């Protein structure tokens, strides 16, 4: 490496996962062409990497906030492109960083055309902010983790339900807690962890989570279910029947795996495997959302290949309007795929599907999807701060 060439990460090489960094290179020759690379590994040891070619300016400097990539994993001015364009070295692997105690460590490097390393820098992207407390919860049937911001509070409280493949993902919850929310994240399936180990979904389980949140000292003393965020969901109850107090509330909308569209990429399109929510015989599976209290934020990706999120959102909105409800807002993201998560993680084009047990395409164009995640993440926080204000009655919201 050349001691004259410097790669800087601004404002700091250490930041939260959902914060942007500015990459700057100095000390290059005037108009020198170099390749910038990013490399990281997830919790399973799967390696993710990206690269982009840049030309220095007359002073021998490159600024990713200003300068376009000429070729590589992306082209054009994309300040965080090296992060969201990272791809796994094994096909159909989704980036997994579920334990909030493990930071996302990214190694950036600058290479001359022959490949020699000219400069390096490491970005430590934390999933949990300073002072946020993390408490694993094994109380009753609950399998989850509780995150509490530093300070006395009171803080808005959020119940975060994660549905991908069972287990608990802490990333979204810990980042929300780092932004000033008390958050309980729970596995959708409780102690069973995986959908193959259970035959029904129990609403009682989520009620346990709400009761646990109500007992927290730092949450606001007034409680009611008040606000909900719905991301790429279905207008019907799917796959498993829904029960409450040992009585079935909703049967499940089922699916037919023979409708998977197989592609040359080795991953299928599962968007059309669900039975129609519009068919008369399936109306009993529809969620009676008009009976729910509180306010709703619906978010749908228009290029979702898991299922037709946009159509399902439209059905929910129309149902609310039909019943004279105005307690909702909605946002659509053209070019975004199924997994809308906190921003700046690697885009997921394909991965194993937990229900059909095969590799599936999740949809979306990387650039559009990355932009959607940035927009939605801010919107979620603004939405919760508006509707979970400690000046009003506090709630637990489903995310």
Residue 63: CA atoms inside 13 Å, Cβ hemisphere, count? 6
Q: Per-residue pLDDT averaged across 52-71, rounded? A: 98
Contacts (Cβ under 8 Å, ≥6 apart) of 68 = 54, 75, 76, 77
Q: What is the pLDDT of residues 161-190, one digit of tens each?
A: 876 655 688 999 999 999 999 999 998 765
Domains and CATH numbers, the chain: 6-126 (2.60.40.2240), 131-153+170-216 (no CATH), 222-398 (3.40.50.1820)
Q: What is the pLDDT of residues 336-385, one digit of tens each?
A: 999 999 999 999 999 999 888 899 999 999 999 999 999 999 999 999 99
* The predicted structure's pLDDT at residue 225: 66
Nearest by Cα to 317 from 303, 331, 301, 336 = 331
* The predicted structure's pLDDT at residue 175: 98
For residues 218 and 176, give the distance between their C-alpha atoms in angstroms, rounded to a whole number: 15
* The predicted structure's pLDDT at residue 109: 98
Q: Mean pLDDT of all residues in the chain?
A: 92
Chain-centroid distance of CA 192 in Å reads 23
SS percent in the chain: helix, strand, coil, step 5: 20, 35, 50
- pLDDT band of residue 191 (cuts 50, 70, 90) is low
Would you say residue 60 has pLDDT above 80?
Answer: yes
Q: What is the pLDDT of residues 82-99, one digit of tens each?
A: 999 999 999 999 999 989
- pLDDT band of residue 326 (cuts 50, 70, 90) is very high
* The predicted structure's pLDDT at residue 384: 93
**CA distances in angstroms from 369 to 213, 257, 286, 310, listed in the order given:** 32, 27, 28, 15
For residues 64 and 121, give the distance between their C-alpha atoms in angstroms, rounded to a whole number: 15
Q: What is the pLDDT of residues 217-240, one digit of tens each?
A: 776 666 666 799 999 999 999 999
Would you say residue 116 has pLDDT above 70?
Answer: yes
- pLDDT band of residue 2 (cuts 50, 70, 90) is low
Q: What is the full DSSP assignment across 103-169?
A: -EEEEEEEE-TT--EEEEEEEEEESS-TT-EEEEE-STT--EEEEE-SSS--B-EEEEEE-SSSS--
Q: Per-residue pLDDT averaged across 257-280, rounded? A: 96
Q: What percent of the chain has pLDDT over 70?
A: 91
The answer to whether 144 and 166 have CB atoms below 8 angstroms apart is no
Q: Per-residue pLDDT averaged across 68-94, rounded? A: 97
Buried/exposed 144-174: b ≥16 CB within 10 Å, e otherwise: bbbbbbeeebbbbbbbbebebbbebbbbbbb
């Amino acid at each position: 490496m050349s001691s004259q060439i410097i790669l800087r990460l601004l404002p700091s090489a250490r930041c939260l996962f959902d914060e942007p960094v500015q990459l700057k290179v100095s000390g290059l020759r005037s108009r020198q062409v170099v390749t910038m690379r990013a490399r990281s590994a997830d919790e399973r040891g799967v390696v993710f990497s990206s690269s982009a070619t840049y030309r220095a300016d007359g002073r021998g400097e490159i600024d990713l906030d200003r300068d376009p990539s000429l070729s590589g994993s992306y082209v054009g001015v994309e300040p965080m492109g090296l992060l969201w364009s990272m791809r796994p070295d094994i096909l159909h692997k989704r980036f997994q960083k579920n334990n909030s105690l493990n930071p996302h460590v990214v190694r950036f490097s600058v290479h001359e055309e022959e490949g020699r390393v000219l400069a390096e820098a490491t970005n430590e992207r934390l999933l949990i902010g300073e002072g946020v407390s993390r408490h694993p919860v094994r109380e009753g049937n609950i399998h989850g983790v509780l995150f509490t911001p530093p300070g006395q509070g009171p803080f808005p409280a959020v119940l975060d339900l994660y549905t991908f493949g069972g287990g608990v993902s802490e990333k979204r919850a810990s980042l929300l807690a780092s932004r000033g929310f008390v958050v309980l994240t729970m596995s959708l399936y409780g102690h069973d962890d995986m959908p193959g180990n259970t035959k029904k979904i129990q609403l009682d389980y989520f009620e346990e989570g709400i009761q646990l949140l109500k007992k927290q000292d730092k949450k606001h003393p007034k409680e009611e279910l008040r606000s909900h965020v719905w991301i790429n969901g279905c207008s019907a109850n799917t796959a498993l029947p829904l029960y409450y107090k040992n009585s079935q509330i909703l049967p499940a909308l089922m699916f037919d795996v023979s409708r998977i569209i197989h592609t040359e990429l080795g991953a299928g399109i599962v968007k059309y495997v669900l039975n129609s929510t519009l068919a008369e015989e399936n109306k009993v599976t529809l969620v009676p959302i008009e009976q729910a209290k509180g306010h709703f934020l619906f978010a749908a990706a228009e290029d979702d290949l898991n299922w037709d999120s946009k159509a399902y959102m439209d059905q929910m909105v129309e149902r609310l309007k039909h019943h004279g409800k105005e307690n909702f807002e909605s946002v659509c993201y053209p070019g975004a795929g199924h997994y809308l998560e906190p921003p700046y993680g690697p885009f997921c084009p394909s991965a194993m599907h937990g229900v059909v047990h095969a590799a599936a395409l999740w949809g979306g164009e990387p650039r559009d999807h990355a932009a959607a995640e940035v927009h939605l993440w801010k919107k979620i926080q603004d939405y919760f701060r508006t509707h979970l204000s400690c000046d009003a009655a506090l709630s637990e919201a489903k995310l």
